[in-house]
């Protein structure tokens, strides 16, 4: 009889072990599920921050792409750069608002530009969700941009001699 009771106690102990194992596995599965939700939320926030950064960079480049320094009808000029805002449309489930501030005047050699992009995160909070980029825009003719890094060249030395002038070449004799 003693062995029958020991066998009965061993069977009961196995059932308790199974229940504990089920509880441990359930807790692990819940932890993995909450980890997946957190990873998804952070991935979404990273995607939104990347899109906002691209929008800010895009606006900075648009402001830098003026055609000339002085104002002329039909052309974007350095003198025409103004502060403003817009709501750019992108293929996303997020609505962004972009604002830019331009400091200085058209006569300044450099103007400070700050672009800020804000959006509402999943909780609807816009106080913490923004990207701000700043830069300087130089008052330089865009047409002169290609020669800024080159040394000055004496153009007269590069010209060919005019027709009819003798050159210092000698002809071989026949």
Position 158 in a domain:
no
Position 31 in a domain:
yes
Position 112 in a domain:
yes
Position 50 in a domain:
yes
pLDDT tens digits, one per residue of 104-148: 988 899 999 999 999 987 777 767 788 999 999 988 877 776 665
Could you tell me the pLDDT band of residue 3, with boundaries at 50, 70 and 90? Answer: low
Count of domains for the chain: 1
Position 160 in a domain:
no
Say what the pLDDT of residue 83 is: 93
For residue 3, what are the β-bridge partners?
Answer: none
- Whether residue 157 has pLDDT greater than 90: no
pLDDT tens digits, one per residue of 76-85: 888 888 999 9
Position 173 in a domain:
no
Q: Whole-model pTM?
A: 0.66
Q: Domain residues for 66?
A: 2-142
Q: What is the CATH number of the domain that holds 77?
A: 3.30.1300.30
Position 149 in a domain:
no
Say what the pLDDT of residue 171 is: 56
Position 165 in a domain:
no
């Amino acid at each position: 009889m003693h062995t029958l009771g020991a066998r009965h106690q061993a069977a009961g102990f196995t059932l308790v072990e199974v229940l504990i194992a089920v509880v441990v596995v359930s807790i692990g599965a819940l932890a993995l599920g909450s980890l997946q939700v957190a990873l998804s939320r952070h991935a979404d926030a990273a995607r939104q921050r990347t899109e906002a950064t691209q929008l800010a960079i895009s606006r900075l480049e648009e402001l830098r792409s003026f055609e000339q320094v002085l104002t002329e009808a039909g052309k974007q000029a350095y003198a025409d750069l103004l502060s403003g805002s817009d709501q750019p449309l992108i293929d996303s489930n997020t609505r962004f608002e972009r604002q830019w501030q331009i400091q200085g005047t058209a006569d300044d050699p450099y103007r400070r530009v700050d672009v800020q992009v804000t959006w509402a995160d999943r909780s609807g909070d816009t106080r913490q969700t923004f990207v701000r980029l700043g830069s300087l825009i130089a008052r330089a003719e865009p047409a002169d941009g290609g020669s800024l890094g080159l040394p000055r060249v004496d153009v007269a030395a590069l010209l060919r001699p005019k027709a009819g002038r003798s050159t210092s070449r000698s002809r071989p004799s026949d």
